[in-house]
């Protein structure tokens, strides 16, 4: 990890193979991990996103950044996250993805969930949300499992996005 230059990271698009792999645990929170997180936050803001997972910048790491509020103080880093206690209640909302530009789909997810992770300071983080953050965490966590929006779409949404998906596939 130490020979990695975070400034060279950029968002990769589907069908990049790293997007389909289960990400590896981050063994330790060090300066490189913090620098990668900072670069990911910058890329997320440049693209006007609300979350960005390490696989989306070509790294098979279990880490994502998020800022569901899009407020300057809202940036969060989640290293080796786990999602627990999903609510039985679900809701469907349109989602997009920075690695699938021009693709949107209505995705059903639990309304509330708890995230447990390590923060950039190496300390444990535990947060629960029944707001937009819960949806963002679930979307970004999917990336760590190699799961894409395409896998959660209805057949109707796949048809509606067929051209955009085909264009990405080249």
Chain center to CA of 36: 14
φ/ψ (deg, to 5) at 74: -90, 0
Does the model's pTM come out above 0.85?
yes
Q: Which residues are catalytic?
A: 140
pLDDT tens digits, one per residue of 5-48:
999 999 999 999 999 999 999 999 999 999 999 999 999 999 99
75 phi-psi bin (left φ>0, alpha ψ -120 to 50, beta other) = beta
Q: In what order do the strands lie in the sheet with 63-66?
A: 51-53, 63-66, 76-84, 113-118, 124-129
Domains and CATH numbers, the chain: 6-169 (3.90.45.10)
């Amino acid at each position: 990890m130490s020979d990695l230059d975070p400034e060279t990271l950029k968002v990769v698009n589907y069908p990049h193979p790293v997007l389909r792999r289960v990400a590896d645990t981050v063994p330790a929170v060090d300066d490189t991990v913090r620098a990668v997180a900072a670069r990911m936050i910058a890329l997320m803001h440049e693209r006007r996103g609300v979350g960005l997972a390490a696989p989306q910048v070509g790294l098979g790491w279990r880490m994502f950044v998020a800022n569901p509020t899009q407020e300057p103080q809202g940036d969060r880093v989640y290293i080796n996250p786990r999602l627990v206690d999903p609510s039985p209640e679900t809701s469907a909302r349109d989602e997009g993805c920075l690695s699938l530009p021009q693709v949107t789909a209505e995705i059903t997810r639990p309304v509330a969930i708890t995230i447990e992770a390590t923060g950039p300071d190496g300390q444990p983080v535990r947060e629960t949300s029944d707001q937009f953050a819960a949806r963002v965490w679930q979307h970004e966590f999917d990336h760590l499992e190699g799961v894409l929006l395409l896998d959660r779409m209805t057949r109707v949404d796949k048809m509606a996005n067929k051209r955009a998906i085909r264009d990405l596939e080249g």
